[in-house]
Amino acid sequence: MQTSNNISPSWARPFYTLWSGQAISLLGSRIAQFALIWWLTEKTGSAVILTTLSLMVSLPQVVLGPFAGALVDRLNRRNVMLVADSLAALASALLALLFWTNHLQTWHIFVATFIVQLGGTMQLSAMTASTTLMVPKENFSRVQGANQTLQGILLILAPLIGALIIDILTLPFILGIDVVTAAFAIIPLFFITIPTTTQTGGLRTVTPSSLWHDIQAGFAYMRSFRALLLLSSLVIVVNLFQGPIPSLIPILVKEHFVAGAFQFAWMRMAIGAGFICGGLVLSTWGNLRTRRSTIPFGLALMALATFMIGLSPGWAIGVAVAGMLLAGMAMAIINGTIFATMQASVAPEMQGRVFTAYQSTSMAAMPLGLVLAGFWTENWNATSWVVVAGIVTLCAAISILFSPSILGMGKELTTTQGIPQTS
């Protein structure tokens, strides 16, 4: 007996073993990241330093993501994950050693963070593309629901654990936790077989010209795939307005709600709880047949959440907290469904390139959004930007209802005919 896309019925055990190891490793990395941010805050108190650290977090995915995707499609995905996880663990180990020997400097953290995030970009691309070959098609949405639930758990647990242990353990020991948890991601890769496509079945020559050719192929695939191009364009616009909102939350808490750090913590934790709820909803409800309504539903829910945050009066911070909960839930539903849709629609041999091309394109609008939101907030206020973001998001939800091509995504694979192929 075989599943709908010729995958063995015993797929769950190896896949979730691999998935669980990656989840444990992610928790360790988030705890270490929290500790590093707090260490820099106490050591420098510089917003420029913290902003630069944020740039090191986002730069690999925005600028180098397409290169990572090209490598994932050209090389064996198991080996890509093995190298990526090992490099990230090595970077944390070197930081711990530098701190232990009193040689740690700020630029060391920048470089290590860049390496860790680059490894994370490659690992995510390889794991997402491998999921298509390990999981039956009808379970794509449920796996993505589990992924979004995991993100919510990490958003809640990592800061809590980090805050608890940062006064108990020194930074080298916390970084050591990251190294130890990385082993849970690395070891299963030696025992679990990840299927390959004809494109990744063997070792292939990697040159600058071949990588550039592959990157062009990923973007060409997006341009030729009308539904994916339309969906990506909508995501870019939504991210342009929604992306800066997390950065505006502290201003809203302090100036609009006249509250403090405790209330800010509640709003941050509400997003994590929302991710968990949204992931659970997607895991139990989402499938290929209901995707027609899932994406616009998630966007409409996001619009409602945004209005709750932006229109809440100063004395009703509880409404804003509830809005943050709904926002986290909506993000989980939207992101999980879009990835599941792409997994069902994009040819497996193209998925690494197309996923990273989509991610870099959609995230590229966020720096511009931050600049625009900062200018807007300086001249008007943060709440008005949030309301405008809600209006834009609602318009995006409505527009999908009038787009048969987006609503029909996921019914069958889109071929690579007419797309430049790798050599």
pLDDT in tens, 198-229: 444 444 455 555 666 666 777 777 777 777 77
Q: How far apart are CA 227 and CA 317, in angstroms?
A: 39
What are the structure tokens assigned to 309, written together? 């945050």
Q: Is residue 175 part of a domain?
A: yes
Q: Is residue 313 part of a domain?
A: yes
What's at 239, amino acid-wise? N
The DSSP output letter for 256 is I
- The angle formed by the CA atoms of residues 278, 335 and 253, to the nearest 5 degrees, is 65
Give how many domains the chain has, as a whole number.
Answer: 1
Q: Is residue 334 part of a domain?
A: yes
| Spatial CA neighbour of 74 closest among 349, 414, 358, 346 | 349
> Residue 261: how many CA atoms within 13 Å on its side-chain side?
0
Task: Write down the pLDDT at residue 324.
Answer: 92
- Lowest model confidence (mean pLDDT) among 1-15, 87-101, 241-255: 1-15
- The angle formed by the CA atoms of residues 363, 366 and 371, to the nearest 5 degrees, is 160
What are the structure tokens assigned to 133, written together? 């070959």
Contact (CB, 8 A) for 138 and 63: no
Task: Provide the phi-psi class of 422: left if phi over 0, else alpha when psi is between -120 and 50, else beta.
Answer: beta
- Is the pLDDT at 274 greater than 80? The verdict is yes
Exposed/middle/buried for residue 296 (C-beta within 10 Å: 0-12, 13-18, 19+)? buried
In degrees rounded to 5, what are phi and psi of residue 313? -65, 165
Task: Write down the pLDDT at residue 294.
Answer: 79
For residue 278, the domain's CATH number is 1.20.1250.20
Q: Is residue 2 part of a domain?
A: no
Q: Is residue 72 part of a domain?
A: yes
Highest-pLDDT range among 54-68, 187-201, 385-399: 385-399
pLDDT band at 352 (very low <50, low <70, confident <90, very high): low
In three-state secondary structure terms, 408 is coil
Exposed/middle/buried for residue 260 (C-beta within 10 Å: 0-12, 13-18, 19+)? exposed
Q: Is residue 415 part of a domain?
A: no
**Percent share of the chain, pLDDT over 70:** 77
pLDDT band at 129 (very low <50, low <70, confident <90, very high): confident
Task: Write down the pLDDT at residue 267.
Answer: 79
Task: Write down the pLDDT at residue 66.
Answer: 66
pLDDT band at 9 (very low <50, low <70, confident <90, very high): low
Find residue 414's DSSP bridge partners: 346
The DSSP output letter for 421 is P
In degrees rounded to 5, what are phi and psi of residue 202? -140, 170
**Percent share of the chain, pLDDT over 90:** 11
Q: Which domain holds residue 283?
A: 9-407
What's at 67, amino acid-wise? F
- Is the pLDDT at 387 greater than 50? The verdict is yes
Q: How far apart are CA 73 and CA 218, in angstroms?
A: 10
Q: Is residue 328 part of a domain?
A: yes
pLDDT band at 306 (very low <50, low <70, confident <90, very high): very high
pLDDT in tens, 79-120: 888 888 898 899 989 999 998 888 888 888 888 888 888 888
Task: Write down the pLDDT at residue 139.
Answer: 76
Task: Write down the pLDDT at residue 417.
Answer: 44
pLDDT band at 197 (very low <50, low <70, confident <90, very high): low
Q: Is residue 105 part of a domain?
A: yes
